[in-house]
Chain A
Amino acid sequence: EPEVTQTPSHQVTQMGQEVILRCVPISNHLYFYWYRQILGQKVEFLVSFYNNEISEKSEIFDDQFSVERPDGSNFTLKIRSTKLEDSAMYFCASRGQGASRPFFGQGTRLTVV
């Protein structure tokens, strides 16, 4: 079965540093998402992306966050200046056309120290 691939699996960064989390969605999918899960809490929606632009974002997705699909295959989440509270598991997901279900990657665990 096709899968969504995320790299790295674990990233440790110092507070204030920029991080880029990378995702390779399923090749013929059109809708892309980032979610996060702080340890012990719910999975929360961050942003959705379609047709090369953000289609929806949550209140969590402030000016410190940005997304990009730089080359037609990768989908990245950038955090400009990380804070301790950004420590979480970040999940990428992609979905095909219509009512198809989203496929999630294995996640990147981000630890800000």
Chain B
Amino acid sequence: KQEVTQIPAALSVPEGENLVLNCSFTDSAIYNLQWFRQDPGKGLTSLLLIQSSQREQTSGRLNASLDKSSGRSTLYIAASQPGDSATYLCAGKTGANNLFFGTGTRLTVIP
């Protein structure tokens, strides 16, 4: 069974800083990996999806990488803004139909 771990559990940074969120998974036979954003009491917004054949994906200030051999993915956020404050979840899909989610990193960007 796929286990997904995210560190740190919480992170506070001043506005404007670049930051990296980490995600590790136990089953390297991953089909794809997805990063989500979750605001308090709200749903999940998909940010980036990386297929197993890809190394990275970029969207605006976000860049996600995937290293299957080491079982790791990172989400890089450039020039952080207070509006980036949220919980960030990674989720891996291993060929079965469902996603395995990590516990998330709660990000606070301080103005």
List residues of chain A with CB under 8 Å of any chain B CB: 6, 31, 33, 35, 41-45, 48, 50, 55-56, 58, 91, 99, 101-107, 109
Instruction: State in angstroms the CA–CA spacing of A58 and B43 once bound together.
Output: 21
Q: CB of B63 within 8 A of chain A?
A: no
Contacts of B98 in A (CB 8 A): 33, 45, 48, 56, 58
Q: What size tier do the contact residues of chain B reach?
A: 20 to 34
Tell which of B43, B89, B104 touches A106, judged by Cβ atoms closer than 8 Å: B43
Instruction: State whether A42 touches B97 (Cβ < 8 A).
Output: no
Say whether chain B's binding surface is mostly helix, strand, loop, or mixed.
strand
List residues of chain B with CB under 8 Å of any chain A CB: 32, 34, 36, 41-46, 49, 51, 89, 91, 96-104
**How far is the CB of B87 from the nearest CB of chain A, in Å?**
11
**How far is the CB of B23 from the nearest CB of chain A, in Å?**
13
